[in-house]
Structure 1
């Protein structure tokens, strides 16, 4: 699927587009946007769609990443379509932004915003500006670079499997977006392959790690690159971490005491799991059910937050 924006243009946008960070945060991103290895999360916000309704957004919060309490389990129902695979961002303007899958065959992704995580206002959908055939845009996920600039990773299919792409905002309000640019090294590896979906990018030690769901095996795999656009090379495939499968909706966050946690949707079992790593993603603890939320939520994203927190 050829894109109308080349990799060179996309790299230039990521490297220097001043509108990617809002207002006075252009020179120094506001605390709370992105993952700063020198800071400790003070709160986690989870957005998910409810297990009993893929048109209803549920929002939860936690101060340790394990025990979550309800912010609002009826936070948002979009004007039309679904609110599957919701991913949440706290942007440099202090607002929370949500992106989500609106339909299985959609040619756009949904957006909404909030100041308090309790009530949400719909924004205009983001169209996937690609030529030719497009049969679906799934599982959009926010990505934030070290400077606080943001993008959305979304899995697109043109009838031959899914491939992750990156969208770049072209204005401060996150209402105007570039065409999607493919992430090199990810996507269908051979004819007949279903590719990868649910890609989440995690920055660590100056590199970008991609946790992807292999749609052929239904397992979560790990790739790495020096830039969000790639090229990516796989570090671990198959059931390398012992999470089992099928699994999807992976979300990875830093923990207050060090290390990282991954959240996983065991969607065929009606369970929601988590697993921890303290050695740079090499080994992981056996997956355990997330207390209070396992069986209640589907495909969520967990956002680590830092001071200052938005008012409630």
Structure 2
């Protein structure tokens, strides 16, 4: 009898998972050009073929910071049921943009979060992302910044002398925030981190931005806690091309990582079942023309239907 019950529960769990996948779709939040026109969205039912929504026009135009850009949008569904989004507002500002929405159509008033304002030498605040820690019921917002004079051992005169590390704040309500702290110093210039949970661990996908000698590839680090410490970065998981802006999703037992092959003016993707051995599937994906750095989340078919009316 116990074996029968176990089999029933296992099958029920499988069915529930199958039903959840059947009723959901993937949504890609991204920007185009310099991010001046705002948020773009595309969807996919199989994670390979993506179609732009709203004729690939903007769902939300940027209003904050003097540059009023909306680059590198990151959207997650919060524990409160709201969609929370952060983005890069400028190439040289000391803060990021934030807004929330119930339906991805109607957004709250955009806010400027001055997360690097207390750092006199901060030159930028790039590619912010949000990850939720269910154990502590806390959101972590993290991004890449260069602070003049810090980490001189990895400084380069090339690419305007940028020499980034990852920084973060935490919040439980997007109203009050912790002080800014250093999240990750891998011993090299690092940008474009995205963190997802894998069992009891957190996995950070990141870009090694080293210019001399050029790396410009994606790597992985792990931690038992969302706020770190994270391990030494892995060997590159991408090939002999320059890659940036990773975003990832799970398809069954597989991990799929999308990224911008920005020198080749095209998007790439790799897939792995163990986060160690990776297969390039770039020739199998199809994305809207001009899609730039963004993030992927899962929404329901009902939510997609509303987006398709726009």
- SS of the equivalent of 1:211 reads strand
Q: If each structure's helix is expressed as a fraction of its own residues, which one has the higher value?
A: 2
- SS of the equivalent of 2:293 reads strand
Q: How many residue pairs align between the two structures?
A: 263
TM-score (ref. length: structure 2):
0.76
- SS of the equivalent of 1:130 reads coil
Q: What CA RMSD, in Å, does the superposition of the two structures yield over aligned residues?
A: 2.5
Q: Is the 8 A contact 1:270 1:295 kept in 2?
A: no
2:79 is aligned with 1:79: no
Distance change >3 Å, CA 208–CA 254, structure 1 → 2: same
**Among 187, 206, 209, which residue is 2:203 paired with?**
209
Distance 2:72 2:284 in 1: 18
Distance change >3 Å, CA 143–CA 294, structure 1 → 2: same
Q: Is the 8 A contact 2:88 2:126 kept in 1?
A: yes
TM-score (ref. length: structure 1):
0.76
Structure 1 residue runs without a partner (length 5+)? 1-37
Distance change >3 Å, CA 272–CA 71, structure 1 → 2: same
**Among 198, 201, 205, which residue is 2:192 paired with?**
198
Distance change >3 Å, CA 301–CA 130, structure 1 → 2: same
Map 1:1-312 → 2, pairs under 5 A: 39=17, 41=21, 42-51=24-33, 53-72=35-54, 73=56, 74-80=58-64, 81-128=68-115, 129-147=117-135, 149-159=138-148, 160=150, 161-170=163-172, 172=173, 174-183=174-183, 186-187=184-185, 189=187, 193=188, 195-216=189-210, 217-234=215-232, 236-237=234-235, 240-255=236-251, 257-278=252-273, 280-289=274-283, 291-293=285-287, 295-305=289-299, 312=306
Distance change >3 Å, CA 308–CA 281, structure 1 → 2: farther
Q: Is the 8 A contact 1:126 1:177 kept in 2?
A: no
Q: Is the 8 A contact 1:162 1:188 kept in 2?
A: no
Q: Is the 8 A contact 2:37 2:70 kept in 1?
A: yes
Q: Is the 8 A contact 1:196 1:215 kept in 2?
A: yes
Q: Is the 8 A contact 1:55 1:84 kept in 2?
A: no
> 1:219: how far off?
0.7
Deviations 1:113-171 (A, max 9, x none): 2222234344211111534321111110111223453221111221242111221125x
Q: Greater relative contact order: 1 or 2 (C-alpha under 8 angstroms, separation 6 or more)?
A: 1
Structure 2 residue runs without a partner (length 5+)? 1-15, 151-162
Q: If each structure's strand is expressed as a fraction of its own residues, which one has the higher value?
A: 1
Deviations 1:168-209 (A, max 9, x none): 125x3x1332222212xx3262xxx5x211111121121111
